[in-house]
Structure 1
Amino acid sequence: MHSRFKRAIIVLIDALKYDFMEYNETLGFDEIQNIHFKNKLIILHQLKTKKPLNSRLYKFIADPPTTTMQRLKGLTTGSLPTFVDAGANFKSYHITEDNILEQLVQQNKKIKFFGDDTWLGLFPDQFHQSFGFPSFNIQDLHSVDDGILANIYSEMKKSDWDVIIAHFLGVDHCGHRFGPNFPAMRDKLLQMNAMLSNITQLMQDDTILFVMGDHGMTNTGDHGGDSVAELEAGLFIYSPTQIASSQQKDDNTVKQVDFVPTISLLLGLPIPFSNLGMVITDLFTHCPWWNTATNDIRQAYHKIKALRMNAYQISSYLSAYQSQASDLPEKELRALQQLFTNTEQEIQKYITMMAKDGVKSDTLSKFQSLENSYRTFIRDTRQICENVWAKFDLKWMLIGILTLALGVAQSLYLWASWSNDETFLPTSAKFLLGGSLAYLICIAVHLFIFPTSVPLMPVTLAALLIVANFVCVKSFMPEMFVVKRYFTLVNVVSSILFILNCCIYFSNSFVVNEDEISMFLLQTLVCIFSASIILSKKSPGGKTEHTKYSKKSKSSFDIMQVVLHPKTVCFLVCLSLCALLRLSSSFIPCREEQVSCINSVFPQPLASLEGATKNKRYIFSIVSLAVMVYASRRWLKHFGNLNGTSPGVVAMLYGPPLAALFTCLHWALQGLSDLFSDSFTPWQLALMAQAVYVVLLVSIVTLTVWPLLIFMIPSKASSALYLSHKGDLQHIIPTIYNQLKVNFQQNHNEKDSERSPIIYGLGSAYSASICAYLVLFGLLLTLLLSDGTAPSITLGILALYLCLELYSAAIVSNSKHEEDMSSPRWAGLVLFNLLSTVFFYTTGHQATVPSIRFEAGYVGFYGDLKSFILPGFLVWLNTFAGPVFFSLAGPLLIFWPLLFNGLASWMVDKKSEQVKEKTSWQGDFSIFNNGIKLNKHLFSLVCGTIFITSLKLLFATCAAALHRRHLMVWKIFAPRLVYESALFVTVTACMFVVCLFVHRVDRALIRFVKYIHPDKES
C-alpha cells in the first residue's frame, strides 16, 4: 500500500488513561483544582479543536493482563497475550515474533528510542540509537522522564531517523506512589503537556504523531488486572497535514492491537504476520495524492483497500496456524474462510464493473457492504482466537491433580504415623516413598522422552499410591486415637471449618469475598476454643486461686470474684480476640468485584493524604510499632529472658527499638509531599530503610549464632532454684521461704561445687528465642508494608498471643497427662492456617494481580538494581507477610502450652496444682530431656502444616480445572490458584527455616547443659 507518511513519532506515556486525555469543558475552576488529573493535557484539546481534520482521540482498549511488558508485546506484534505472560513482566525476553520494529529494520528504517529500558530487552538489535533508563524503581518519578527530555528535542532536529519511540514512566510511577488524584499527578501531566507542545512544534508535514498509554490505572494507581479503569488507555493521533476527510464521530473506541496494522499501512510497511488487529479506517479516508476532490466512493474504496490488506494478512496467518495446530473450531473457521473468499470475489467483480461501466448509484452501498464483510471477518477471527488461545492439556492437568493428591496423601500419612509411632521411618513409609519416587520417574520419562504418549502408567501408579496411603493412615489410627483423641469438639468443628474453607474455591462469589469468609471462620473457631474450655470438666465452678484473697462471707457479692472467674476470663479473652480480628479487617483493600466495598484510608500512600488525616495515621502507625516493641520486651522480661549481656540478649535489648525508630523516620520521609521529597537526594530518602536492614540483619545473625536468651549466676553460698520467670507476686514470699528452708537443710551436706546456679529464662528458652525471631521478622515486615498496613502486624502479634493462650488453655483443660501438652493438635494447625489466610488480606492484599505491591521491592534502594532477586524477595515478603509471620510462629504450638503462664492459667483451674510445688515448673525446658519427642513433634508440625496447605492447593487446582472455560477463570480462579501455589511454597519454606532455628536453639541448650554439668551426657 502507498506510504502515507515518511516518519512517525510514538510517545508512549505509561498508564495514560483516557480520562487523563479527555477534556471536560463543563468543569469549573474549583473542580479542576480538586481533580488533579483532569484537563491537564490542554495541548490535545487545542489541536483537536483547532485542527479537527489533523487529529483524532480514541479510547485505546488494552487486552489483559495490563502489565507493561505484555502491552508492549501487543502494541508491536498485534497478538494477544495470555494470563501466564504476566509472570514475565520483570523478565523482558527477546520478542521473536514478527513485529513492526522488525519490519522497519527490514525496510532500512532507522529507529531511535528514549525511555523505559524494557524495550532494550524486548528488541536488543532493532534500534539505531537508544537512550534507555531503569524502569522499576517506582519511587522515582522524574529520572526517566528527565532523561528523555534532555535528549529527544535535539535528536528530533537531526535527519538520521525515521521513527522515534519515547516511553515516559512518570505518570505510572506517580499513580503507584500517590494514586491518580494527587498534586504530583497534576505536575507530571503538565510536564507531559509541555513536552507534547514542543514536539508538535518541531514536527514536519511528513510526520505523524501517536500519543498513547499502554494501560490505565485504578483509583489507587494499580494495574495488571482487567477492570475497566485498567483497560481504558488513550490514543491521540496528530499530523501537521490532514489525516482524515471528516471530523471525528462519537464512536471513538479502538483496540490496542489495531495500532499495529494502522501504523504499518500508514508507513507503507507489511503488516506483522501474527497480527489480529483491525486498521483504524478513519485514517484511510483522505489521500492527498488524488487530483480530484475526495468523495464518499473514494473514501469507501480506500478504506476497503486497507481492510482488504489487513484481512489478507489475517487469512494467511490462520492458514499457517491451522497447519501447525488443530485447536481452532473447524466449522467456524470454514465459515470465515468462505466469507473471505466470497468478499474477495465480490470486490474483484465490482472493480471490473466500475472499470467497464463506471460508477453507478448503488456503488457506494456495495462498497459499504464489502467493508462490513471485511470487518466481520477480522472481528470474528479475533474472537475465535481469543476463545481458544488458552490451551488446556487435560492429560497433564490430570497428572498435576494426581500428583498433588499423592502429595496430600503422603503428608497425611507421615503426620498420622509420626503422631503414634516412635520409629522415624517404618517399613510402610519406605514402601510409599519408594513408590512416589517411581511415580516421579515415570512422569519425567513421559515429560522429556515420550511427551506425546498417554501416561497411563503414572496415572495408575498415582491412584494406587493414594489408596495405599489412606490404607496405611487407617492402620495408624487405633481406637483410642480415633475416638478419644481426635473426636473432640474443637477438632471436629475445626475440620468442618477447614473443609468449608477449601470448598470456597469452587465459587467465584466466595473467592471474591474470601476475606470476609475467612474472618468469619476464624472467629467461629475462636469461639469454639472458648466453649471447649468453659465446658471442660476442669473448668471450676467455685473460687479459684485468683479469688482466694477474698475473706467475705458466702452471702456477700464480690464483683472481682465474677470478673476473675475462669469462665469470665475465657469469655473476655474470646471477645478481645474477636475484636482484634475485626479491627484488623480495616486494613483489607477492596477488589474490583466487591461493589459495595469502600477502601479505608490505610491502604492509601501516606503522601497522598493531607492535613489532620495524614498526621493521625502517622501517629497511629508509630503507636502500633511502639506497642509491638514494648509488648515483646515486656513478655521477655516477664520470663527473665532479657537479663545479662550475652550477644543475643544485647541484640534484643537494642535491635528492635533502633529498628522501630529508623522505620518511623523512614515513614516520615515517605510521607513528605512530592515538592519536599524532591529536595532530598535518592540516597537520603533510602538511608533510614537501609539502617533498618542493617540493624535487623545484625540482630538476626546474632540471634542465630547466640540463640539462647538466658542468664546464669553461679551460686557460691547457697543452692538456688531455677528462676525462669518472675512469678506471681502473691507467691514470691512462700517461694523464698521454701527455698531458704531447703538451703538450710542441705547446706551442711553440699560442697560449693555441687550447688545449683541461678538461671534466668531457662524455662522459656525455646519460646523466647522463637518470639525474638518473630519480633525481628515482624519489624522487617512492617517496614515493607509501609505505615498504612504495618499496624496489622502489631494486631497479628496480639492476636497470636491470645490464640496461643486459648490454645494452651484448651489443651490443659482437655488433657489428662502433661506429657501430651507439647504435641501439636489438629485444631491448632487449622487455627494457624486461618490466621495466615486472614492476615494475608489484613496486610493489604487480595488474590489479584493489581494488589501486588511492587513498590516494596525498592524500599531502601534507589537507582537501577542489576538483579531482580532482591526486589523480588522483598515483594514476596510484602505479599505474604501474614503467612510468613504465622508460619514462623508454628513451633509455638509445641512450646507455648508447656509455659502455661498468664491468661491460660487464669482460664483453667490447674494453677493450684502447680503452685503446691513451685520448683517443679520447668516450662518448655521440660522437653529438652527428650530429644526424640522434640524431633517427633517438629516433624508432626511440618507434616500437618504441609498437609493443610497442600490440600487447599489441591482444591484450588481442581476448581481452576473445573472452571477452565468459566467466564471468570482468568479474573478470579486462575489468580487464586497462582496465589495458593505461591502460598504453599512460602509456608513450606518458612516451616523448614524455623525448624532449623529450633534445632539451632536445641544444640545451644545441649552445649549450655554440658557446660553446667560437664560430667553428664545430655
Structure 2
Amino acid sequence: MAESRGTIPAAARRVASAWIAGLSRTALALLLLIFLLFIHLVGLATFTHGFLLTRLTIPSTSPAYNVTNPAPVTATHSKAVVIIIDALRTDFISPFPPNPPSPFHHNVLTLPAEMTAAHPDRSMIFDSFSDPPTTTMQRIKGITTGSLPTFIDAGANFASTAIEEDNLISQAVADNRSVVFMGDDTWLNLFPSSFSQAYPYDSFNVEDLHTVDNGVIEHLFPHLEKGGWDVLIGHFLGVDHVGHRVGPDRDTMRDKLAQMDAVLRRVVAELDDDTLLVVLGDHGMNPKGDHGGDSPLETSAALWMYSKSTPINHAAGSSAYAEEEGLRQINQIDLVPTLALMLGLPIPFNNLGNIIPEVFVDAPETFAAAARAVTNQIERYINAYGNAAVLKAFTDSRNEYAEALESGVPILAADADMNTNTRVLEALRELWAQFSVPHIVLGVVLLALGVAATVALYLGVRNGGPRWDQYVRMALDTAVSVGTGVGSVAGTFAGVYTRDPLQGLQVFLSVAVGTASAVLAAPLLVRGTWSASLTGTLQQAIGPIILILHTLSFASNSFVMWEDRMVVFFLVSLALFHVLRALIAPQASLRLRILGFGILLAVLARTLGLSTVCREEQQPYCTVTFYEANGSPKWSVYGLIPFMLMIFPRIIGAVLGWSKSYSGPAPVFVSFIWRAVILMGAIYWTFEWMETWDGLNPDRIPLVKSVKLWVARFAMSAIFGLMPYIWASSGLCLDIEREKDQTGEREDEVTVLGFGNAFGSTYFLFVLMGFALVQLVSTPLAQLVLGGTIVAVVAHLELTDSQRDAVLLHSGFSGEPGAFEGPRDALVRPSFTDAVPLALLALIAFFSTGHQAVLATIQWKSAFVGFETVTYPWSPLLVILNTWGPIAFIALCVPLLATWNVSPRPNASVPILAHTVQMALAFITYFAAITLASAVTAAWLRRHLMVWKVFAPRFMLAGVTLVVVDLALIVAVGFGLRVTSWKVWRTFKSLSV
C-alpha cells in the first residue's frame, strides 16, 4: 500500500547541523523522545510551581509573656505529657462505638472512656478533625503550629524539613522549658535542635510493628520517674503500622491497642498532680488501614485530655457543649491555643485554631480572656497575611457583633470571638493554597505546545515514509538552532529583568517554549504534512474521537471520579467497532480472526475492570473487589496462583507458536526462566501473607521473613541480571530445517521457521522482563490482572495484524472479480487508532491493580520487596513501580505494534523504526493530551470545592504518568528495539551468507 510522503525542500534539508545530520536513526529517535521528555518536564514544573505552591507562612513569632505582656489567663499546669498514637482513630477509644462494634479495635483501648466516666471533670474525649492531607508530617505541623496544610505538602511526607514558623515547641524552648522526645523520627527532622533529649526511630518501616513502640516505652517511663523535664513527647507508631500491614480488622490490631491501653494505664499511675496528659491520634485510617486522603475515617482522630487533680472540664454535666449521641467534634488545631494557654505559653503566631471552651468556662472572665487572646493572635496573623477576603471575613464578624449589641441581642464576648475565629479559619481554608496565575498560564501554554509539537512530529514521521528521519532532523535542528537561541536570549533577559540571572526555571521555560514552537513551525517547511492528515477512514478517525471525548471528560468531576469505568467503556467500544468491521473482511478466515480477537479484547477489558478499589465519592454505587470486605488484601486469590503460573506461560507459548516462533531461546526463556521468576513473585506475596497469618507458629516468623526476603532478591537478580543476559546473548526465535536431496548427500533446501515474526517474537521476550518486574512488586490479585493485561495486549496485536492483512487484500484486488494483484511483502502503515487501545489498556491496568487518583490507594507494602527496612532510593522507587509499573509495562509494548508479524527484508528496508517512532508519538500524544486537559480543568476550576479532592490529584497522576511513559519509551527504543534490530540484522546476514 503506497504511503503518502511530505516533501522536504532541499534548502530545508541543508539546514540540519552536522551533529544532528551525523546521528544514526536510532540515536535520532532517542533524541526525539528525550526532547519531548524535556518539554513535558518543564511544562509540568512550571504549572506545578504556579498551582501547587506551599502555604504562605509568616516568619513572625508571638512575643513571650512578661511583666509588660502578661499571660491572658492563669496556667492550669506546669508540665505536660503528650502521647501521640499514630493513626488512633476516634472510634478506637470512643465510649460510643458503631453498631455492631468490631472485636478487633472497639472496646479494646478503654482507659480514656473509663476515666471520663469516672472523673468527668478531669477527663475529656473529643473527635478531632485533622485537616487533609492526613499524612504524619502535615499533622505534626498542625498540632504544633495550629496552621493548615496544603496539598503539595503531602509529597514532602518523605522528606521532612525543619519547621521555621512559630510553634509550641519553639515557644517552650524560648521559655526555658525542657522538652524530651522519643518515637517517630519525623519530629527530629521538623525540630532538629529543639529537644533537650531525643530518642528517634525510623518512621517508615511499616513492616516492623514493635521496635518503635518498644523504644518509646523503654525511654518514657524512666523519664516519668526521674523527672527533669517540662514537656515529654512520645510518638507510638505500632497502630499505624498494623493498619498499613494487615488493616484494622485483625487480631494484630487488637493486640496492639491492648498494649497501648496498658501503657496509658501505667502513665496515668505515674503522673503527678501538676502534669497534664494529652493523648491523641495524628490522623485516622480507612477500612484497609491507609490514610492520606480526606474521607471521614481518615480525618477522624482521637483526642483525650486528662488531669490527675486539677479540673479541666468545666462543662461536665452541661448541655452547652455536649452532643446528643457520640463525641463532640473539634478541629485538631484547636489543641494548639488550648494547650499553650494551659501551660502558660504564647499562642504560636500562625495559629488558626480556636480554644476548647470546656477548659475555660469555669469563670466568664477566664473564658472571655482566653477567647480574646486567640482572636488578637489571629488578627495579628491575618493583618500580616494581607488577604482582603480573609480581612473582610474578620471585619464582618466583628461588625455583626457590634450591631447585635446595639440592638440589644445578648451575645457573650467570648462566643463572638470564637465565632470570628471560626469564620477566619473557614475563609483561610478556601484560600489554603496561593496560585500564581502567570506560571499556571505559562505551564498550560507549554503543555499545549508540547501536544501540538508531538502531533506535528507524528504527522511528519507518518507522511515522511522511508525518509522520515529527514523530517525529524530538520525539526530538531530547527528547534536546537532557532528555539534554543531565542529561548536562551529570552531566559537571560528574564533573569536580568528580575535581577536574578540564575533563575533556572525561567531559562528552561524560555528554551522549552522556543524549541516547542520551532518544532511546531517545522511542518510549514514540508508540503503535505497537514493536508495528508485531513483525509482518512472511519477506522483512522475513531482513535482521535475517543481521545477528544476522554479529554473533554476532565471538565466534569463526576467523569473524573468514574474514570476507571469510563476507560473500560472506551476500550470495549473500540473492540466492538472492530468486530463490526469484521463483516467487510475479504476472506472468511480473516473475518473469523477479527471477530474472535475483537470479542476477546472486549471480554478481557470488561473482566479486568471488575477488579477495583472505590473512591469515597463512588459510594454507595461501587463495590471494592481488590480488597476483602474488611479492607485487608484479598488473600483468597492465592488459590488462583497455580492457575496463573500454568496458564500464562502456556498462552505465551501458544501465541508464539502461531507464527512458528516458539523456538530458539523462546521455550527455555518462557517456560523455564520467566515462569520461575513469576513463581518467585507469587511465593514472595504468599510468605508476606503467612507472616501475619494467625495460624503460623510465632517461632517461625523470622524464618518466613528471611525466606520472603531472599526470594525477592533472587527474583530481582534474575530480572536485572540473568534474563537480560540470556535475551541479549541468544539468537532469534527461529528454527531452521534443512532438507536433503533425493540422494541424501546434499542439502537442497533450507526452511526458516518463525522468520515472519522475527522482530516481534524477539522483542516480546524483552517485554516479558518488564512484566516480571512489575509483577514482583504487585499484590496477588494485581498479578492476575497483569496476566490478563498481557493477554489483552496479544489480542490487540493479532487484531491489528488481521486488519492490516484485510487492508492489503482489499488493495490488491483489481476491478475484475476474482483478480488479485497484491504487492508482495507489502506493509500497511500503522495509524493513531492502533495506539489508542494500548493507552486505554494502560489506564485500565492502573485502576485494576488497586489504584485510584487518591493518596489512600498507594500500596506502601511494595516498598519492602527485597528489603527489611526503608532503603533509599530503592523503597520509593519500588512504590513508584507498583503504582505506575502497569502503565510503564504497556508503554514497553508499543514497539510491538510495528514489529508484530513483520519479517526482515534485505538492506534493512523494513520501516520498523519509523513505525515504532510513529506509534510512540501517538502513545505520547494520548497521555500528553489528557495531562493538558487535567491541567486546564484544574486551573480553571481552582476555586471549585472538588479541586483538591478530584482535579488536583488527577493532574498529579497525569503528570507523573506522562513522564513515566516518556521514560519507558526511551528504554523501549534505546535498548529493547535496538538490541532486537541488531540481533535480526546479525542473523539475516548469517543466513544470507
Say if 1:64 and 1:437 are closer, same or farther in 2 by CA, change over 3 A: same
Which amino acid in the other structure matches residue 581 of structure 1?
Answer: A
Deviation per CA, 1:927-964, whole angstroms, max 9, x where unpaired? x7426823322322332222222111111111111111
Q: Which sits farther off after the overlay, 628-637 or 823-832?
A: 628-637
| Deviation per residue, 1:441-461 (Å, 9 max, x gap) | 366447654459999999999
Q: How does 1:521-540 map to 2 (within 5 A)?
A: 521-536=570-585, 538-540=586-588
CA displacement at 1:301 relative to structure 2: 1.1
Distance (Å, rounded) in 2 between the aligned partners of 1:332 and 1:174: 43
| Aligned with 1:962 (options 921, 940, 948) | 940
Aligned to 2:56: none
Q: Give me the whole-angstrom Cα distance separating, in 1, the residues matched to 2:762 and 2:248.
A: 45
Work out whether residues 339 and 373 of structure 1, in 8 Å CA contact, stay in contact via their aligned partners in 2: no
SS in 1 for 2:243: helix
Distance 1:430 1:605, change over 3 A: farther
Partner residue in 2 for 1:890 = 894
Partner letter of residue 885 of structure 1?
F
- The answer on 1:393 being equivalent to 2:465 is no
- Residue equivalent to 1:943: 921
Would the aligned equivalents of 2:804 and 2:828 in 1 still touch at CA under 8 Å?
A: no
3-state SS of paired residue (1:9): strand
Residue from 962, 985, 988 that aligns with 2:966: 988
Q: Which residue of 2 aligns with 1:656?
A: 674
Deviations 1:130-151 (A, max 9, x none): 2211121222222211222233
Q: 1:698 to 1:624 in 2, by over 3 A?
A: closer
Question: Residues of 2 paired with 1:874 and 1:808: CA distance?
Answer: 35
Question: Which residues in structure 2 correspond to 1:410-559 (within 5 Å)?
Answer: 410-421=453-464, 422=467, 424-426=469-471, 427=474, 430-438=477-485, 440-441=487-488, 444-445=491-492, 448-451=495-498, 469=520, 472=523, 475=526, 477=528, 481-482=532-533, 487-536=536-585, 538-540=586-588
Matches within 5 A, 1:722-737: 724=734
Deviation at 1:698, TM superposition (A): 3.0
1:304 aligns with 2:368: yes
Percent of residue pairs bearing the same amino acid type: 27
Matches within 5 A, 1:819-834: 821=827, 823-834=829-840
For 2:719 and 2:662, the matched residues in 1 are separated by 14
> Per the alignment, do residues 568 and 1009 of structure 1 end up closer, same or farther by CA in structure 2, a change over 3 Å counting?
closer
**Alignment map for 1:80-479 (pairs within 5 Å):** 80-241=148-309, 242-247=311-316, 249-251=321-323, 252-286=328-362, 299-322=363-386, 328=389, 331-332=392-393, 334-335=395-396, 369-421=412-464, 422=467, 424-426=469-471, 427=474, 430-438=477-485, 440-441=487-488, 444-445=491-492, 448-451=495-498, 469=520, 472=523, 475=526, 477=528
1:872 aligns with 2:876: yes
CA pair 280-125 structure 1, distance change in 2 beyond 3 A = same
Question: SS of the counterpart of 2:412?
Answer: helix
Alpha-carbon distance in structure 2 between the residues aligned to 1:428 and 1:634: 43
Deviation at 1:94, TM superposition (A): 1.0
Match of 1:17 in 2: 89
**Aligned 8 A contact 1:704 1:1000 in 2:** no
Cα 1:875–1:209 change in 2 (3 A) is same
Quick one: structure 1 residues 416 and 972, their matched pair in 2 at CA, closer, same or farther if it must change by over 3 Å? same
Distance apart, 1:617 and its partner CA: 2.1
**Hey, what's the Cα distance between the residues in 1 that align with 2:755 and 2:514?**
49
Answer whether contact 2:122 2:308 (CA < 8 A) is retained. Answer: yes
SS at match of 2:81: strand
Secondary structure (helix, strand or coil) at the match of 1:59 reads: strand
Once the 2 structures are TM-superposed, how far is the Cα of residue 499 of structure 1 from its aligned partner? 0.8
Superposed displacement of residue 221, structure 1:
1.7
Distance 1:276 1:331, change over 3 A: closer
Secondary structure of 1:577 counterpart: helix
TM alignment of 1:556-595, pairs within 5 A: 566-595=590-619
Work out whether 1:627 is the aligned partner of 2:647: yes
Shift of 1:757: 6.9
Looking at structure 2, the residues matched to 457 and 861 of structure 1 have their Cα atoms a distance apart, in angstroms, of: 38
State the Cα distance separating 1:797 from its structure 2 match: 1.1
**2:623 aligns to what?**
599
Deviation at 1:822, TM superposition (A): 6.3
State how far apart, in whole Å, the 2-side matches of 1:40 and 1:129 are: 32
Amino acid at match of 1:577: L
Please state how far the C-alpha of 1:90 moved relative to its aligned partner: 0.8
SS at match of 1:880: helix
Q: Is the 8 A contact 1:641 1:711 kept in 2?
A: no
Please say which structure displays the higher CA radius of gyration: 1
Change (3 A) 1:894 1:695: same
Counterpart check, 1:803 vs 2:852: no
1:386-434 Cα distance to aligned partner (Å, 9 max, x none): 2223112211111111111111121111111122220524445533554
**How much does 1:110 deviate?**
1.4
| Segment of structure 1 superposing worse, 68-77 or 15-24 | 15-24
Unaligned runs of 5+ in 2: 1-70, 812-822
Residue type matched to 1:525 in 2?
L
Instruction: Return the alpha-carbon distance in structure 2 between the equivalents of residues 775 and 606 of structure 1.
Output: 34
- 2:213 is paired with a residue whose SS is helix
Q: Is the 8 A contact 1:663 1:689 kept in 2?
A: no
Query: 1:669 matched to which residue of 2?
Result: 687
What amino acid sits opposite 1:847 in the alignment? Answer: A
- Give yes or no for contact 2:649–2:671 (8 Å, CA) kept in 1: no
Aligned residues of 2:842 and 2:887 also touching (Cα < 8 A):
yes
The yes-or-no answer on 1:701 pairing with 2:769 is no
Say whether the 8 Å CA contact 1:822–1:895 is kept in structure 2: no
Cα 1:490–1:668 shift into 2, 3 Å: same
Give, in whole Å, the separation in 1 of the partners of 2:725 and 2:781: 34
Residue 175 and residue 108 in structure 1: after superposition, are their counterparts in 2 closer, same or farther (change >3 A)? same
C-alpha spacing 1:6/1:332, structure 2 compared with 1 (3 Å): closer
Range moving further from structure 2, 989-998 or 331-340: 331-340
Kindly indicate whether the alpha-carbon contact (under 8 Å) linking 1:649 and 1:709 is maintained by their aligned counterparts in 2: no
| 1:819-849: CA deviation from partner (whole Å, max 9, x where unpaired) | 6636432111111111111111111111111
TM-score by length of 1: 0.81
Distance in 2, matches of 1:26 and 1:411, equals 55
The residue number in structure 1 matching 2:864 is 858
* Segment of structure 1 superposing worse, 940-949 or 261-270: 940-949
Residue 84 of structure 1, CA deviation: 0.9
Q: Does 1:849 align with 2:859?
A: no
- Distance in 2 (CA, whole Å) between partners of 1:424 and 1:260 is 64
Contact (CA 8 Å) 1:489, 1:532: kept in 2 or not? no
Give 1:883 shift. 0.8
CA distance in 2, matches of 1:230, 1:6: 33
CA 1:682 to 1:399, structure 2 compared with 1: closer, same or farther past 3 Å? farther
| Equivalent residues of 1:9, 1:207 under 8 A apart | yes
Unmatched segments (≥5 aa) in structure 1:
287-298, 350-361, 541-564, 713-722, 727-735, 899-922
TM-score by length of 2: 0.83
Q: Is the 8 A contact 2:288 2:631 kept in 1?
A: no
1:630: Cα distance to partner?
3.0
How far apart, CA to CA, are the structure 2 residues paired with 1:491 and 1:572?
A: 21
Asked if 1:999 corresponds to 2:992, the answer is no
* Equivalent residues, number: 888
8 Å contact 1:77–1:274 — kept in the other structure? yes
Q: SS of 2:778's equivalent?
A: helix
